[in-house]
Chains A and B, each alone.
Chain A
Amino acid sequence: MKKGKAKVFRPTAFSFPYLAVTLVFVIVPLILVLIYAFRGEDGGFTVENFRLVFTEKETLRQLGQTVGIAALSTVICLLIAYPVAFVLSSEPFKKMAILALLFIIPMWINFMLRIFALQSLLTVIGLKKSFGAAVIGMVYDFFPYMLLPIYTVLSNMDKSYVEASNDLGANPFRTFFKVTLPLSIPGVISGVSMMFMPIFSSYAITKMMGDMNTTVIGAKIASLFENQNYGNYGYGSALSFVLLLIVLLVMVVSSVLMKRTAKAPVKGGKA
């Protein structure tokens, strides 16, 4: 390396390999999805693929059911994970680091093997493949991802707010709803967003645990490949494009919520 050259070198250049890779393997595929979505069989521009997506009753039903499964499983998971996170971050459990770890460990076990284990247990209990079993599968699979962010926020929370509220005469319930819960909303939002969207792609769970009628929209896209039906990329791309829009919508909503709650405690602190 010549001296003159070394001076011209800027440290930002270290990111160039990654930028090139991102361009080829992340940006280009998205452009391809876009192209395939709007390209007809003759190669010209068309919205036929989107017309199919929005007029096929089966696809609409699956989209609706996906949102339903995602919402239901996320709410159930939150209702279980929040109390657990709350207890784990309270005295005397706070000091037992291994205890919290026990709840997170399943995250490191292959998720397909975990679902296999759960399915075996449900069969033993006598619960057949059904909508309910699929929801249980989702809750079971995503539980650590919901628990971790809420637990992190609650255990890093400044406990003096709670003490102040108690000292000022609020009962524990009031303290919880007026102080602890609002302060933990960022954790809840990040837990929810780590679960809600990924469920759209979790067709392995609905296929393994649900009945014939239970499905998520990811299954539809995957089936275009599984049937070796190579060729109908247009339809799959249009559907992917719709999913992209839903992702964007969810992101905008969660970032707006996040900003709002981020402001709240500061305001409260100053008042």
Chain B
Amino acid sequence: MKKRFVLSVIFKWVILIAVLVAIYLPLVMIVLYSFSTSQQVGGEFGDFTFSLYGKLFENEQLLAALKNTLVIGAASAALATVLGTTASVGIHYMRRKTKAVVDAASQITVVNAEIVTAMGFFLLMIFIRDTVKIPVNFSLVWLIVTHTIITTPYVILTVTPRLQQLNPNLLEASMDLGAGPMRSLFTVMLPQLAGAMVSGFALAFTLSLDDFVVTNINSFGANVETISTFVYAGIRKKGIPIEIRALSTIIFIVVLAALIGYNVVKNKRLKEMAKRA
């Protein structure tokens, strides 16, 4: 019996390691070749060098794409957090039937094919510009707006569960005691929702960084490139500059450090809490 258990654990490790290798092999290759000036990943390695990292900071197009990605991500995530949090509070106090309708509406962009959402945004811009004749156009701001729309539902999905854990009479009590709605929101509700808002912001930010379809369709006329559209255009047309490997490596390491750091801190805190209890 014991031997069988050991065998099955070995077999399970084999599955896990095989899949992990498949996941990380491509990433490791890129990290490795970020220290080589070989034109091709997998080509002759040559000398170990940091020159791609130097080149990265001289490639203005790539740096502009990186800056756009971060600006769009931060701005849209901030807007989505404000919009999503206030929406969650409002929806929370709705009657059941109204709530069902609003919940369904907020899920439209989540379940819809992204290309349809992207096309909808495009047509809306054309409509506002050419039919309503408001002088606006495709731009960085438009990308921030569209990203805000597609990420807000995820903030709502993050904040709502936390809201449901709160005492339902909290807001009413505050308003009965004479605080105005804004004051109640800021001094009573928001402090309790802060953790969920941070998670919502992080989720919205990463979703925005990852977006390609909406950005691609809505940036043709705007001349605004993000990392996603830059790499896509590079692969299809002029070829990707090799310093993208250095950028990829930096991103991999930042993500890895942030997530593992976050989890180590979280586990430590859990253990401390367990000790105290």
Contact = CB atoms under 8 A, between A and B. Distances in A.
B115 A26 contact: no
B175 A204 contact: no
B227 A15 contact: no
A86 B139 CA distance: 46
B235 A116 contact: yes
A97 B263 CA distance: 9
A12 B251 contact: no
Nearest to B145: A25
B75 to A, nearest CB: 15
A15 B16 contact: no
Interface residues of A, number: 84
Given A105-B259, A218-B113, A83 B123 contact: no
B196 interface: no
A110 B117 CA distance: 20
A167 interface: no
**Per DSSP, are chain B's interface residues mostly helix, strand or loop, or mixed?**
helix
B206 to A, nearest CB: 6
A111 interface: yes
Contacts of A57: none
A244 B16 contact: no
27 contacts: A14-B89, A15-B89, A15-B91, A17-B83, A83-B15, A84-B19, A101-B259, A101-B263, A108-B255, A112-B232, A113-B30, A116-B231, A116-B235, A120-B29, A121-B41, A197-B111, A201-B114, A204-B216, A204-B232, A222-B115, A222-B213, A225-B122, A228-B220, A233-B123, A233-B126, A237-B123, A247-B116
Interface of A: 1, 3, 6, 9-19, 21-22, 24-30, 32-33, 36, 80, 83-84, 87-88, 90, 92-93, 97-99, 101-103, 105-114, 116-121, 123-124, 140, 143, 197-198, 200-201, 203-204, 207-208, 217-218, 221-222, 225-226, 228, 233, 236-237, 240, 243-244, 246-247, 251
Interface of B: 9, 12, 15-16, 19-20, 22-23, 25-27, 29-30, 33, 40-42, 83-84, 86-94, 98, 102, 105-106, 108-109, 111-124, 126-127, 145-146, 149, 152, 171, 175, 178, 180-182, 185, 206, 209-210, 212-213, 216-217, 220, 227-228, 231-232, 235-236, 240, 244, 247-248, 251-252, 255-256, 259-260, 263, 267
